[in-house]
């Protein structure tokens, strides 16, 4: 009797253990290597650093709205309302003469910046998070060179088993920046300033993302 109970218990543990491994395995993923930079990460605008800063500040709630997400297996696109970024004024740097030198844009870590067109799993774009350092360097009285640097980029690459209130939690994986996000910010600044139309962002082709 005791041996049968032990055997039955062993089978139960085996079943439970297998189920846990399956749950973990479902969340596991291999994130592809980033593509080479396809877009510029700096641009010269006909505006002063203050004009650029004021434009970003006045419109920060509308950053990055309306991108399309692509399913690379079917080719279908979906219009999106993307995540939000805000100016972190404690990290924004101003020179001794009052010139704005750097603007730190912080994305919401609860609301993704957008689905990444570079990091893809099973044909689906992965939720992408990052912060951005916007450097403003005056070139002349009416021209400012703007560079955008991406920092701390991550994607949600799957789910993992955990003990607690939520049985499965997001897996965040650090990734390299791709130039797409940086150029998106530059294009948005150009739009804010109502300057000449900048070239469209170059996104990777579906065949480039094949694993």
Outline where DSSP puts E strands in the chain: 42-45, 68-70, 77-79, 85-87, 93-94, 100-107, 114-121, 124-138, 144-161, 168-174
Express each pLDDT in 62-83 by its tens digit. Answer: 655 556 677 777 777 776 656 6
Express each pLDDT in 101-123 by its tens digit. Answer: 999 988 766 667 788 888 888 88
> What span, in angstroms and rounded, lies between the C-alpha atoms of 61 and 111?
13
Q: Which residues of the chain have pLDDT under 50?
A: 1-30, 211
> What span, in angstroms and rounded, lies between the C-alpha atoms of 93 and 81?
30
Phi, psi of 83 (to 5 degrees): -70, 180
Q: What is the pLDDT of residue 79?
A: 65
Is the overall model pTM greater than 0.95, yes or no?
no
Residue 37: exposed, middle, or buried by beta-carbon count in 10 A (0-12, 13-18, 19+)? middle
């Amino acid at each position: 009797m005791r041996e049968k109970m032990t055997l039955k218990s062993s089978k139960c543990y085996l079943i439970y253990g297998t189920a846990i491994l399956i749950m973990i395995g479902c969340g596991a993923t291999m994130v592809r290597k980033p593509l080479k930079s396809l877009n510029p990460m700096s641009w010269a605008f006909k505006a002063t650093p203050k004009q650029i800063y004021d434009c970003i500040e006045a419109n920060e709630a509308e950053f990055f709205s309306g991108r399309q997400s692509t399913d690379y297996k079917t080719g279908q696109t979906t219009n999106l309302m993307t995540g939000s970024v805000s100016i972190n004024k404690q990290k924004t740097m101003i020179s001794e003469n009052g010139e704005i030198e750097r603007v730190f844009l912080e994305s919401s870590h609860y609301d993704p910046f957008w689905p990444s067109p570079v990091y893809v799993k099973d044909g689906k774009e992965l939720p992408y998070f990052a912060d951005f350092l916007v450097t403003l360097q005056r070139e002349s009285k009416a021209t400012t060179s703007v560079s955008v640097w991406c920092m701390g980029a991550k994607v949600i690459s799957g789910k993992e088993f955990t003990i607690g209130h939520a049985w499965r939690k997001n897996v965040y994986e650090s990734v390299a920046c791709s130039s797409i996000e940086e150029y998106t910010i530059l294009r948005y600044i150009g739009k804010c300033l109502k300057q000449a139309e900048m070239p469209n962002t170059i996104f990777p082709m579906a065949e480039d993302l094949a694993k």
